[in-house]
């Protein structure tokens, strides 16, 4: 896209829609962490796109060495207030970030859809930042989520992979499916070793926020939606790829290992 992006503006709530909902913080964050935990490697963690640090602090019981890269200086400042010296925070674009080492775990959640050149950034993950034996935890909103498909049938969205005006205002550049997300990862040279979905979702985020303020939805129901998502990843709120380093070819290009 032409023109300089305002990453602070993209993270602000707007009329009729929020950048992040209570559903994200109270439901999706715990379930994402649960999906990640069996695959964690001992050692360091790099979070690309930490926003205000709400998800970041869920990693602190698991890792002593946590680094975050965040494009918004306002969000980075908020994260520093919340997390103090427990986390190293780098205020930079991913395309320009200079990091001192490779990391055993890299987390990229609900960020790739914001990037102008996702392959370029994932190449940096594969070629520069991911340690040998390390793992990338890549999560994006799902174009085929049941809630989104219902919105298409209602005429609210033109097609599953559309970028809505509200999403565009918050910096979204595309909407991924499992196959298109996998294609981008492979194009960057990464090796996809596991794919899944996180939380079967038939309601929009704002509807979930209203429900969560009542006693209509129990913890058991939320647990059921999480488990059902393992059976039907293509209908989940988010899609999850676990990736490892592929073979880097001479000349800097990444090539998926076999």
* Ordered domains of the chain (ranges, CATH): 7-245 (3.40.50.150)
Residues 6 or more apart whose CB falls under 8 angstroms from that of 63 comprise 43, 44, 45, 105
Query: What's the pTM value of the predicted model, to 2 decimals?
Result: 0.88
Q: What is the pLDDT of residue 146?
A: 97
Cβ(215)–Cβ(228) below 8 Å: no
Burial state string for 202-211 with b = 16 or more CB within 10 A and e = fewer than 16: ebbbeebbee
- What whole-number distance in Å separates Cα of residue 145 and Cα of residue 205? 12
| Closest to 107 (Cα-Cα) out of 161, 180, 167, 32 | 32
Q: How far is CA 86 from the centre of its chain?
A: 22
pLDDT in tens, 50-83: 999 999 999 999 999 999 999 999 999 999 999 9
pLDDT tens string 12-29: 544 445 445 678 888 999
* Six token digits for residue 149: 């498909």
**Distance between CA atoms of residues 99 and 83, nearest Å:** 20
Confidence of residue 256 (pLDDT cuts 50, 70, 90): very low
């Amino acid at each position: 896209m032409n023109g300089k992006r305002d990453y602070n503006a993209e993270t602000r709530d707007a009329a009729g829609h929020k950048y992040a909902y209570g559903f994200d913080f109270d439901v999706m964050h715990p379930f994402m962490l649960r999906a990640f935990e069996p695959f964690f490697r001992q050692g360091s963690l790099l979070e690309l796109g930490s926003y205000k640090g709400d998800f970041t602090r869920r990693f602190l019981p698991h890792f002593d060495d946590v680094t975050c890269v965040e494009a918004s200086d306002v969000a980075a400042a908020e994260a520093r207030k919340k997390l103090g010296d427990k986390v190293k925070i780098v205020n930079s674009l991913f395309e320009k970030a200079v990091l001192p080492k490779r990391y055993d775990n890299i987390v990229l959640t609900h960020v790739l859809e914001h990037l102008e050149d996702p392959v370029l950034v994932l190449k940096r993950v594969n070629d520069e930042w991911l340690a040998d034996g390390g793992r990338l935890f890549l999560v994006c909103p799902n174009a085929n989520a049941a809630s989104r498909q219902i919105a298409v049938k209602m005429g609210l969205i033109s097609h599953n992979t559309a970028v809505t005006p509200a999403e565009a205002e918050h910096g979204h550049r595309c909407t991924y499916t499992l196959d298109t997300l996998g294609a981008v990862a492979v194009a960057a040279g990464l090796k996809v070793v596991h794919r899944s979905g996180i939380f079967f979702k038939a309601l929009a985020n704002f509807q979930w926020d209203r429900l969560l303020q009542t006693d209509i939805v129990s913890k058991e129901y939320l647990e059921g939606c999480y488990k059902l998502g393992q059976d039907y990843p293509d209908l989940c709120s988010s899609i999850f790829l676990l990736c490892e380093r592929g073979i880097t070819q001479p000349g800097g290009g990444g090539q998926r290992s076999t």
